[in-house]
Amino acid sequence: MKTALLSVWDKKGIIELAQKLNAENWRIVASGGTARALKKAGLPVTPVTEITGAPEMFDGRVKTLHPAIHAGILARDTETDRADLAEQGWQTIDLVVANLYPFEEVVSQPDSTLATAIEHIDIGGVALLRAAAKNFNRVTTLSTPADYPDDIASFNDENFRQKMAFKAFATTARYDNAIQNYFAGLVEEDAPLNLTLYPIQTLRYGENPHQSATYYAENPNASTMGGNLLQGKPLSYNNLLDLDGAWNAVLNFDTPTAVVVKHLSPCGIATAPKVEDAIIPAIASDPVSAFGSVIASNRKITAKFVENMGKLFVECIIAPSFDTDARDLLAKKKNLRLLEVDLDAPRVTHDLRAVVGGFLRQDIDTGSPANAPNWHIPTKKQPSPQELDALKFAWKAVQPVKSNAILLAKNDGERSFTLGIGGGQPNRVDCVRIAGERAGDEAVDSVMASDAFFPFPDGIEEAAKLGVTAIIQPGGSIRDEEVIAKADELGIAMVLTGIRHFKH
């Protein structure tokens, strides 16, 4: 008779699995709450204490940590090992089903304490998984309900057992990493950066067809970008980059907002009382670049939103939801991908980039921090209320643009919108000119945002030529006085934020 050891925190699917084992005449050994759940379901179960001859101790801290259990798991299929077991009166264990205390979930709660965290550090479960995975030649390991098979005959397949061993080791590695990171935060030490990422989608290729690519996530059961692809072909590497940029940009705004992104650069951003009224100026900001773009909305996509897009060809639309009429209209565009993502879906908190010989890690820039200094107006001219509304919008909108970022915007009393965006150039003056070219005649009476300070007055002079009436920028240059004096000379209002938003 084969023996299965069941010791799980997550009881999902465990009764059904035990029923299959019982039907095939397996002996079921279980600990604590798992044994109680099986007995309640009317299944025959042997308590772990009957195998070990020792009681559970310390409120369940010690249950399966016993030679009778671990010898039964680790025994190889050899005469010597079988003889050693027989001498002790112990039997082999052929299946281990274990999942772990939810440490990550517990410590993520705002009211979590150190004492609670410690009680949710699993010891016995990790030991069971590692022992069973090590001996996969004979023992099957199931570390998550998602892996409980429909047919337990798969336990006879060594390839299946090896795959389950891999998953078990991945589970314990991630678990140990979570504990390490938690304690690193307590002692304020930089912990080794151990990432456990799971392949979610093999992509057709990377940035170019000769580059292979895969999408990974922290959760093995995650969907791509944590969303639901409603329509269109699988998302490509470049689609995902653009969607990420557009989604992070639109989440900067609490008001209804539409963002247009092309090649990872925002080319149009607008807010309005209704998001369907924002998409028109967002596209108009740079209609040439909007062709083949990605669009993001932080409100439901309606039929009116789709109508206001006109005949523009776009690659993808990302939004929290799409109504039925919008879906019907968009279904006619066969190559258009629609990605639905909850506004409250978890966001990445840090950035990791490869450089020669190593990696760089930083916190994500999600806007001006809570402790940011108050805005300061050093110029003689004060911005009007309408200009100030436009400047507030422009300061949020410029943040996701590549440095040296320059953005021209207006507020018409209801809507705020970009007119021209320049970024990604080696010098700031060129970006002012590019933003002006995009805006054309609309630049007259616009406001301008700059992600970092102006090192010379020449950027202010170029802005004046365009007809800019107010500027928002961090300040902090050794030539601030010259820059402010030039703004005064040209009759431009200026706001200094004290915070910059470089995006390299």
Q: Check residue 501 and give its pLDDT.
A: 94
List the catalytic residue out of 2, 20, 163, 263.
263
Q: Considering only CA atoms, which of 44, 159, 43, 21 is closest in space to residue 96?
A: 21
> What CATH class does 372-496 carry?
alpha beta
210 is catalytic: no
Domain 229-340 shares a fold with domain 372-496: yes
- Of 125, 142, 134, which Cα lies nearest the Cα of 62? 125
pLDDT category at 219 given cuts 50, 70, 90 is confident
Q: What are φ and ψ of residue 498, in 5° steps?
A: 75, 0
> Does residue 218 have a pLDDT over 90?
no
Question: Among the listed ranges 176-185, 210-219, 486-495, which one has the minimum average pLDDT value?
Answer: 176-185
- Considering the four listed CATH numbers 3.40.430.10, 3.40.50.40, 3.40.140.20, 3.40.1080.10, the one that applies to the domain covering 229-340 is 3.40.140.20
* Per-residue pLDDT at 442: 96
Any residues with CB less than 8 A from the CB of 413 and at least 6 apart, and which?
Answer: 386
As beta bridge partners, residue 344 has none
Residue 367, pLDDT score: 86
Q: Residue 126 pLDDT more than 90?
A: yes
Residue among 2, 11, 134, 381 flagged as catalytic: 134
User: Over the stretch 17-42, which tens digit does the pLDDT of each residue have?
Assistant: 999 999 999 999 998 889 999 999 99
Question: Residue 150: which residues within 8 A CB-CB, separation 6 or more?
Answer: none
pTM of the model: 0.78
The arithmetic mean of pLDDT across residues 481-502, rounded, is 97
Residue 202, H or E segment: strand 198-203
pLDDT above 90: residue 504: no
- The token duo for 94 is 């052929």
What percent of the chain clears pLDDT 70, i.e. is strictly above it? 100
Q: What is the pLDDT of residues 327-373, one digit of tens each?
A: 999 999 888 999 999 999 888 888 999 999 999 999 999 888 888 89
Is 263 marked active-site?
Answer: yes
Distance CA 464, CA 470 (A): 9
Q: What is the largest CA-CA distance in the chain?
A: 97
User: pLDDT value at position 461?
Assistant: 97
CATH superfamily entry for domain 3-187: Methylglyoxal synthase-like domain (3.40.50.1380)
pLDDT computed for residue 349 by the predictor: 85
Q: What is the residue extent of each domain of the chain?
A: 3-187, 229-340, 372-496
**DSSP per-residue codes, 204-217:** S-SSSTTS-EEEEE
Lookup result for tokens 């940590």: 65
pLDDT at 500: 94
Question: What average pLDDT does range 146-157 have in this prediction?
Answer: 90
Residues 244-277 as b/e (b if ≥16 CB within 10 A, e otherwise) read bbbbbbbbbbeebbbbbbbeebbbbbbbbeebbb
Per-residue pLDDT, 417: 98
